[in-house]
Amino acid sequence: MTTTPEPATVDSFTGVVFGGRYRIDGLIGRGGMASVYRGTDTALGRSVAVKVFAEAAEGIDDAARRRSEVALLASVEHRALVRLYDAAHDDPTGREYLVMELVDGHDLRETLRSGPVGAADAAGLAADLGEALHVIHARGIVHRDVKPANVLLEPAHLPTRSWNAKLADFGIARLIDDARITRTGLLIGTPGFLSPEQVSGEAAGSATDVYALGLLLLEARTGRPAFPGSAGEAASARLVRDPDVPDAFGRGWVDLLRAMTARDPGARPTALEVAVAAAALDHGSSASASASAGAESASTAAVADAATVAVGAPDDGTAPTRRLTAPASAPVASAADDDPVATAQTRVMTARDVAPPVQPPPSRRPRKRRRAPVVATLVIVAAVAIAGALFLPGLIAAQNPEPAAPEPLPTLPAELNELGEHLRQLDEAVTP
């Protein structure tokens, strides 16, 4: 139970030891059926919560039945359930009492005095309490008194949530049967959270707890009771109308709360379905802002990935050149920009600075050849050809000089015979 104490109140049980073991140290809170005290288990030396019932709450003085029920309830363990340690009848005081886990925190009723809780905290409540109800329903236990005063909040250790919720008093309906309560008109349950079937006198089932949890969540979100007014008015109102669920909560919340508070028990979801649905609830503007930020980040990353990078040979032969080409889906500059194209390229380059450069895929088109070197090469070849045509003959002539003119043949003597005359004529014919 909660450890947050109420203002000092004179109470005759302070200092009393119940069952010869549990010492009452001080009052924590008081309700219509019982008072809750901080106590000490003198046998184990640990702090506990002791719930002492009013004189009218008879019903757990059957020792055999009490041992059976306590064994069952003590075997139910869950992080969102306040554990029951012991239950007995104290002969010296004549009171029935329960000994439970002491939770270091406060109850939801106290929290709601400061106003409604946020959507994220309410979703956490729905998940924790829905799961806790699912556990006890699976063991055949119906709480029958789900209300803010029975929801204890202990500080959470995660930065994503304010506290963890624990459901208390989940075994009282089994330990104290409402048919054996002697006070006229006293029922186990709180008028503001009774289900339509409880008001009608029908048997309470697991759907009864789901209805009460729906009213609890609705009050947590709005900060006001779903059925205000006196106990009789609040109890009877739910027989003729459903609670008002504001559309501003969003589709997920509206659908869940309307289903949980349906007047037909068969139309309500199970506690497990409530816990699962709570995990998918919209947590409000903070979640929307996170989603927008995520979408913007994804868009920036997509632009960066879409930008193409080409690395080619340097123009001056010293360093590579990077060319960024903005894709068709790149952001468009506003009309006020002097140069929309330059602005779009700047945005792409900014995205590229955030993400590592994308390497060109193997299928990229080959880079275009540079025309300037080709033209220069053609000019040089033409110049060499012309120079060769002009200077090659002289160069060849210089390296290979013309041979000297052959020496003239010796003059033939005049007395040569006819054969000699023919030879002379032949010599003259071949002499230039």
Residue 54 CA to residue 5 CA, distance in Å, equals 19
Q: How far is the C-alpha of 115 from the C-alpha of 3, rounded, in Å?
A: 21
| Distance between CA atoms of residues 238 and 260, nearest Å | 13
Residue 10 phi/psi, 5-degree rounding, is -70, 120
Q: What angle do CA 356, 358, 362 make, to 5 degrees?
A: 155
- Answer yes or no: are the C-beta atoms of 197 and 239 closer than 8 Å: no
**CA–CA distance, 225 with 112 (Å, rounded to integer):** 10
* Residue 154, φ and ψ in degrees, nearest 5: -110, 150
Q: Could you give the CA distance from residue 152 to residue 88 in angstroms, rounded to a whole number? A: 23
Given 145, 169, 247, 282, which residue is catalytic? 145
Sequence letter at residue 339: D
Strands 308-312 and 22-30: unpaired
Please enumerate in sequence order all residues whose Cβ is within 8 A of that of 284, keeping only pairs 6 or more positions apart, or say none: 118, 119, 120
Active site residue 145: yes
Q: 46-53 and 34-41 as β-strands: parallel, antiparallel, unpaired?
A: antiparallel
Q: DSSP string spanning 376-422?
A: HHHHHHHHHHHHHHHHHHHHHHHHSPPPPPPPPPPPPPTT--HHHHH
- What span, in angstroms and rounded, lies between the C-alpha atoms of 10 and 26? 10
d(CA 60, CA 172): 10
Residues annotated as catalytic (active site), given as ranges: 145
